[in-house]
Chain A
Amino acid sequence: MQQFLNTALSGLTLGMVYAAFALALVLIWRSTRIVNFAQAPMAMLTTFVALVVIDAGHSYWLGFVAALVSGLVLGAVLERVVIRPVEGKAEINAVILTLGLFIVLHGLAAVVFGNRYRSFPAPFGLEGLTVGSTTIALNGFGIFTIVSVLVVMGLLVALFRFTDVGLRMRASAFNSEVARLLGVKVGAMLTLGWALASLVGSLAGLLIAGGSLVHPSYMDSVVVFGFVAAVLGGLDSPLGAVVGGLILGLSLSFVSGYVGSQLVALAALVILMLVLTLKPGGLFAQAAERRV
């Protein structure tokens, strides 16, 4: 029973991170119809920025903010310079382009920061909390993970629902032509969308790195999990991404706890194939239209 509870709790924490990462993918997919496979190395790069700041003797929080800001800038710059030329072109070109970016950012990090494992600090204790006399698998950093993802999601919902910019972003994602006719600067909105997505991705990177090791490829499997989570939710819906992330986090945690941690990626593959064959529009799809 205790193992069950602990597995579920760590699955919940992990699920929140996958949800954040899936949300980053969904934000970009909604606005530009591109699955940004380069999201993983982008987040990795910004986490290294945080590590440099922290290693220079500054506080964890300064590094945290530096990573998020550099994520924002990186997303905007990449969209403006690299992605803009292929927007609306053959989808295979966009996919190959993001994979090319994947290799570039990987290589860049390996050259600049070194291709080795480095430990990344956590701002809160990694000791499990004690309830009564038993220790449970939820630590201070886990709570921080859950809270920070929830806060970011709340802010995003507020941005899209209640602000003028959010409305313009939704308009350009919904129908760029009409939005442009109505005076929305669609290009700027797309750049902003990429920047925000990259920020959310950076947050996921920081949360995975906390109290663990970072390496140029430490996010590689996360992009797969984030993608699976996003597809679970239908790739189009932010809420779906969050629910998909939680479902995936829990399932993978149980596979890891009861079968073997080596098979986690295989389990993700099986889940992905099941979703794509049985419910290609995601768990919350209503109208069955050809999507995949």
Chain B
Amino acid sequence: MRDRITAVRRNVLARHLFLALVGLLVVVVVVESISDYRNTQLASMAYLGIAAGGLTVLTGTNGQLSLGHGALMAIGAYTSALLLPDSDSSLPLSLVILAAVAVTLVVGAAVGLAAARLHGPYLAGATLALAVAVPGIALYFKETLGGEQGLRVVMPDIPVWVLDLAFFVTGQDLSRSRYTAYVGWLTLIVVFVLLANLSAGRTGRRWRAVRDDEVSAELAGIDLGRARVSAFMVSAAAAGAAGAILAFTVKLAAPSAFTLTLSLTLLAAIVLGGLGSLAGALIGAALLTFLPSVVTDVGRSAGLSDIQAAELAPLVYGLVMVAVILLAPAGIVGSLRGAVQRSATTRRTTSPTTTKGTAS
């Protein structure tokens, strides 16, 4: 039995699938036990988490910084909105998500090809321009993309088998917001398993090699351009799926949802959690979803007006982001992992000279 458990722990795919199963159970328990309002929040956390997961693979694993992920999410959201114009559309949501992913993948390939030649501030500036430019396209093509008001997303009826299954498992009727939360979190789990597997395998090793040392990577036979573009495409695909979930949750695809703030927020999420860590991306997404209401309450009780208090949240996570870069560049997960490793090495060795932080 013990051997079998170690075997499962060693096998990357088995480990990820096991974690996914545990995650699924947790999701079912949580979604069923909270209110509809909280479920909408949970769905928001899902789309932030998916996008942040994609971004953290790009930035943490491959070293490319993208401020354009808000724009890529917009492409996914608009694709979904165009596919779900009224309640007559019989397209299953899974196909809508796949279509959103496919369209974003194509755009991501184009952006990635350009981005592969850039680094550091140049890449940041170029993707920043993308984030600012994309909402303008929706404004320009008013007829098809709805202009300032945006496109309404009409969710199709919940399929009967899903209703039956939900009743069979939980004994409760499935409400619409619960359904959206399930769709979001199922997508998140699938995306995270794929991302985790990719970055644990050969592809991920190549991405990291390119990040750490271009020359050595090239000497080892890695095609720099291909590694960069593939990382960007994978990341963009995740952003597309996130955009689809956003469209399902908000039931609207409008330019005002995809401002520069969204892209910066995603960056804040992955920096808070720790670059390159999927768990960190999830923690970051959770902070971004649930921190605002807490901070707003604190602000209100400190004597700020409602409008002022509502603006406190970005201020707080901006400050935290600056503090993280200055004090703990490895983020929450990275710092914890570093601390654990440090204490483990201290326990194993007597010489204190070997206790070197390995968080990076």
Contacts and interface: CB of A to CB of B under 8 A. Distances in A.
B268 A103 contact: yes
B133 A266 contact: yes
Contact of B119 (A105, A266, A292): A292
A272 B121 CA distance: 13
A209 interface: no
Interface stretch (A59-67, A109-117, A167-175): A109-117
A204 interface: no
A110 B128 contact: no
A44 B189 CA distance: 41
A99 B67 contact: yes
A97 B326 contact: yes
Interface string B299-313: 000001001100111
Interface in B271-309: 271, 304, 307-308
A102 interface: yes
21 contacts: A82-B322, A91-B120, A92-B59, A95-B124, A96-B271, A104-B318, A107-B316, A107-B318, A110-B308, A110-B314, A114-B307, A223-B128, A263-B137, A264-B136, A266-B136, A268-B132, A269-B129, A272-B125, A272-B126, A273-B114, A277-B117
Given A82-B326, A262-B139, A107 B314 contact: yes
Given A100-B325, A103-B261, A217-B259, 8 more contacts: A35-B124, A85-B326, A92-B63, A94-B121, A111-B304, A220-B132, A269-B133, A277-B114
B322 A224 contact: no
A163 interface: no
A97 B114 contact: no
Nearest to B320: A100
A99 B329 CA distance: 15
Interface in B38-77: 59, 63, 65, 67
Interface of A: 29, 34-35, 37, 82, 85-86, 91-97, 99-108, 110-111, 114-115, 217, 220-221, 223-224, 227-228, 231, 260, 262-266, 268-269, 272-273, 276-277, 280, 292
A195 B311 CA distance: 28
Contact of B322 (A101, A106, A108, A264): A101
Query: Which of A29, A85, A95, A100 is most buried by chain B, counting CB atoms within 10 A of its CB?
Result: A100
